[in-house]
Amino acid sequence: TMDGEIFTATLVPSGNIAPNSSMTLEQKTTFAFVILLFIFLGILIVRCFRILLNPYRSMPTSTWADGLDGLEKGQFDYAL
């Protein structure tokens, strides 16, 4: 088929271009960026699993009404 010929032709370098075994600057930058994304993904996965295993560890012990001086809970709207 025509599609197979085009696909194989793009993978094989033509005879007049010498194959370059070293990576270009753009390829190195892309490779470094992908590695940083994988590290970031790993950190997020570890953090999510820690939250799933112990969800109450990251919650603060105080509530939103602790800072209201003398006001009952539910009266915050009237304080404004």
3-state secondary structure of 71: coil
Question: For every one of its 80 residues, what pLDDT tens digit does the chain have, with 9 covering 90 and above?
Answer: 555 555 555 555 555 655 556 889 999 999 999 999 999 999 999 999 998 998 887 777 766 655 555 555 555 555 55
Report pTM. Answer: 0.46
Closest Cα partner for 80 from 24, 68, 56?
68
Dist CA 42 CA 16 (whole Å):
43
Please report which residue ranges of the chain form alpha helices under DSSP H. 2-11, 25-53, 76-79
